[in-house]
Chains A and B, each alone.
Chain A
Amino acid sequence: MSHHRLASWGPLGVLSGAVLGFAFWSLLDRGVGLETLHNKIDNAAVELRTATKAVQRLASGQAWDYDALTAASKRLRKNAESLRQTLLSYDPDAELVTVDPLAFLLRDIDEIEQFKTDHSVYRNATRAADNALRGLTEAFETESPSTAIDLLPIADTIHRARVLGGVTPGELKEASQELNWVLGQTPGDSPNKAVLASVARYLTTIRDRDAILETVAALDASVAGDCLEIALASVHHALTERSNNDAVRQRIFIVLLVAALTYGGLLINRQRQTAGELATLNAALERRVSERTQDLAAEHHLIESLITAAPNGVFWKDTNGVYLGCNRAYARLVEFDDEESIVGLSDEHLPWEDESRIKKLAIEEELLRSGEAVTNRVAAKRLKSGVQRELVVSKAALTGDDGSITGIVGVYTDVTELNRLRDRVQNGDRLQAVGQLAAGIAHEINTPIQCAAANLTFLRDAVATLLGIAESCQRDHHAEAPTETTRPAADWTRMLERLKQHAPAAIEESDVAIGRVTEIVRAMRVMSHPGTAAKELVDLNTLVESAATISRNRWKYTAELQLDLDPELPLLPVLTNDISQLVLNLIVNAADAITEVRAEDDPLGTIRVATRVESDGVLIEIADNGGGMTPEVKRRMYEQFFTTKEVGKGTGQGLAISHDIVVTKHGGRIECDSELGEGTTFRVWLPMADAPAEPESADERHEAVDDPQDLLAASPGAVY
């Protein structure tokens, strides 16, 4: 089915991509080019301003050498070249750009070079002419004072001309005419005539270059900037116009868009139909899996209650009397907060009242010596705090492989409360406990029963209908013609068709549901008498593959499941059902974790299940890329009844049971890495060698229950 999904989304994806790409192309490519062009023109404008400034400094005499202007001119030329490249890449045929910013720049560069050429001569000629005229006016003061006076305005003009902008071309022309007149008036034998002639020549040289006076004005920075802006606007305008001419492109775009939307709509419609069919199939499968899951959860709830959470205090110690471990009930009994703290201590460290301790130790010493178990001995023990406990005590020696005694295991059943209750009401509380249990069982049985009931209702109606048809047939058989009240034959046909279609399924479902109930009841019986299910050598890869198969409809719409199984995996001694359930739990959890965060259109998530050999055992790794867990959730995940799932979806048992299966039953380890938003990875390590499994044998328990004297004092677990 997932292949089908991919196959139908593929072309749509390609088409959408193409349409989007086309849209971007038709809307954006012009703008990008223009931005580059704009930047380059800006750079050129900045450089042009630098050059203009250099020209003005030279014109005003603030600068003398041409190095700064030359450097600016070189940079400007480089800018122009870069601009040329951009324009070419943009408008290769040069048909769009009517106002060419490049031509404008090149003209300015030429003007700058021309300015240097002319300015160097102009500057020297004005200086030389100025110096010569100063000498001449002095000389003429004695030779011809009137000539000296005539020369004064000329000298003034030329002196002012030494700074560009100090004179106008008109003034220079006037000075030249004046000088020629003076030259004509001066007699040929005058010693100053040659000097006057040279001044006239300088003046001609200056006037030949008076164009630079305008160059300076023309290079005005703001004018330059404006010109470049106008040029840019022109380029912009030309290109926009060309874009507008591409309206055909836009029409194609719209046609493609409409086509894509229509195609997409059809696909989505088909997708919905398919999804509907799938959902129906799925619902049935899911119901079965959830029923199975709930059964398993209930089963383990019972076991958990019996062994771990039983109110019986259990402890075990070595031959030196040092505690190796105990359960929570025992820890509470001796007023410790948790069971771990007791490990490594001996009875001297526990708050027994002296007499109680001495008795306890004496019994244990005797046990170690003789190896004979002590069963259901009733004892009252006092603690230093003054609390007195009535206990039923069973103790046995722990033996190693060679039969030697390695320690003691003890079971203390606190019957203080029970005895008290027995004194008060003989039966009330116990019935209440049974009632509570029954409520739990009722819940388990309810679902299949409801299913069966619903089907039964349907079948009842079906039978009524059939009877109706039968009667009608009978009547028709007797009557010559169909009566008015008779339903048309087509109606009957349709109803029969419907019955034919649904009735077998209803019967089948009822059958299955009642089978479930039977199974639950049987499972309860198994629970209450858990046999010594032996570990068998099993190929874990097969277990993983089976679990993956069974759970398939829980993950396949959410995630892709990758199996990375080590083909070299050795056979492992495990409890097959437990490990199957463990893997199933973890896969279903992974799928749920992905479903929680995944939107409908997101790509499938990934669940990766891997197996490999690791340090005398086998590692099963189940990783998902779902939402991960918060530290709070991570801390509590192994707790019973703790669940993050919606009411009715999770029992809060799965991980608690998993933990129990791995650690308690197989002596393995279960670890979890979870990063919020990244995903979760569970690693389950199971040892190659058979680990100590059930902490107590069923025989011993029977022994305890069977002892008639202490029936009521025994564990309430007996009521199961």
Chain B
Amino acid sequence: MTSPPRDVVTSPPLSATRGGLPTRVLGSRRAVAGLALLAALVALAFAGPLASPWGWADTDIAAFWEPPSSGHWFGTTQSGRDVFALVLRGMRRSLFIGLGVAALATGPAAVVGMVAGYAGGWGDRVLMGGADLLLVLPPVLVAAVLSPALGSGGPALVVLLAAFMWTVTARSVRAMTLSLREREFVLAARFLGATAPHVIVRHLLPHLASLLVADASLNVGAAIVAESGLAHLGLGVRPPDVSLGTLVADGGGTATTHPWPFGFAAGMLALIVLAVNLLGDGLRDALDPADAR
């Protein structure tokens, strides 16, 4: 096994080469663009209702299937609900679900994967056995069983989705930890008497950061889409409440004749995914110690 010379004694000094983390993140055009887009979307989702004359639960019985106009900016649905207000409501729901699941899935996955990989032995077997067991349970069944407790797209749904999404990440984190553990800079730190938590946080985490960020950014979109799938089966957000996923799903059937409910919801979903991916890619490049370009 050979390693790049910079790893011989210690982990590469991250800050010395390219400035502090904020500097590097702000230096990445993609990260800045992603952050700005995400901030704009959050602002729109929360401030938009103040400007809109219609609430998301209102129905305008004078306007069914109305195309976008000055009265209804994004048009109305079949039952006369204002698409602009609905899309913003869905965005708040979906941003909460997507960002919540990403944090709740990737964080524990990093901890479990690193501990299992670094400690090895029985702890490793039990943790990974638990992850494998979750993999073989049908999520639809678990969601159906828990659905009385899930409510309508609240925090319980976030926890459920995260519980099913963390396992794959935990596996890849563990696999990377296993190989990092044998690298010279980690061995050196251990022989110098560094404690396990110190090695994990100071020497393993920086090398795993890019993987984790990429994973978290993927999970945001995946969680939003997964919620729409559950809602499609009657297990996620329930009518009259909406999420971007349910709007896209409901609008898909009539997209050919009345494209606006589907188009605006799908567009916002795509923008959220785009923003998170841009931010993730930018952070990935900024965090990766091997990528010194």
A and B part of one assembly: no
